[in-house]
Amino acid sequence: MLLNAYIDHTLLKADATVDAIKQLCSEAKAYDFYAVCVNSYYVALAHSELRNTPIKIASVVGFPLGASISNAKISEAQYCIDNGAQEIDMVLNIGLLKSNYYKIVEDEIKAIKKTIGDHTLKVIFENCYLTNDEKKMACKLAVHAGADFIKTSTGFGNGGATLADVKLMKNEVGNQVLIKASGGIRDTKTAQQYIDLGVSRIGTSSGIAIVSS
């Protein structure tokens, strides 16, 4: 599979303008990326820009901290689906995971998956804040809750994807769910290393550089 088919072309910056989102969508069409990933406010705009194309729209929920109340995350996820998103990248509640409140974390993931139905749910761990045991627990909770993907990072924490984390995640989940690597992946060589480890998607704002070099 060509590299472009792995790319979630991403723009989540606070200062992203309407024109910048339109440019993101134009680039996704030009390079035939798998999806664009935008904040929830811009889902409807991306849907309009990508109408009649096969490019998917992913939106983040509870981003980037994961600390929103569950009802807010559920409402945001529903809004995104209603306005044209096919994929939801939710941030799990990092603080509750670290507090060993595992049932609450799992129930929230379940509730969002129930809300979006057959649409794709990716659960963002933000691995830079987690111990290896916490990463393994997050894997278990996401699998039990019915997630479709687990994802390394938001790109807004103090560290992004690492090869070691993806190996750990892959060892924990096997083929039960897919893996998305995100955060700091900016060149072809690095992207290929993650693909060789078994990731199915790469979240990056450097998609053009990755497929052009």
The DSSP result for the chain, as a single string, is: --GGGGEEEEE--TT--HHHHHHHHHHHHHHT-SEEEE-GGGHHHHHHHTTTSS-EEEEEESTTT--S-HHHHHHHHHHHHHTT-SEEEEEP-HHHHHTT-HHHHHHHHHHHHHHHTTSEEEEE--GGG--HHHHHHHHHHHHHHT-SEEE---SSSS----HHHHHHHHHHHTTSSEEEEESS--SHHHHHHHHHHT-SEEEES-HHHHHH-
- pLDDT score at 1: 85
- Residues contacting residue 21 through CB under 8 Å, at least 6 positions apart: 11, 38, 42, 45, 46, 49
Q: For the chain, list residues with pLDDT below 50.
A: none
pTM, full prediction:
0.97
| 4 in Cβ contact with 30 (< 8 Å) | no
Query: Which entry of 8, 56, 73, 89 is annotated as an active-site residue?
Result: 89
Q: What are the two backbone dihedrals, phi and then psi, of residue 32, each rounded to the nearest 5 degrees?
A: 55, 50
- Across the chain, what does the average pLDDT equal? 98
Active site residue 180: yes
| 143 in Cβ contact with 106 (< 8 Å) | no
Cβ of 63: how many Cβ atoms within 10 Å? 20
Query: Which entry of 113, 122, 151, 165 is annotated as an active-site residue?
Result: 151
Active site residue 107: no
Active site residue 151: yes
Task: Return the C-alpha torsion angle 101, 142, 25, 191, nearest 10.
Answer: 110
- pLDDT score at 159: 97
- pLDDT score at 213: 78
- pLDDT score at 69: 98
Domain map (residue ranges) of the chain: 7-212
CATH class of 7-212: alpha beta
| 150 in Cβ contact with 123 (< 8 Å) | yes
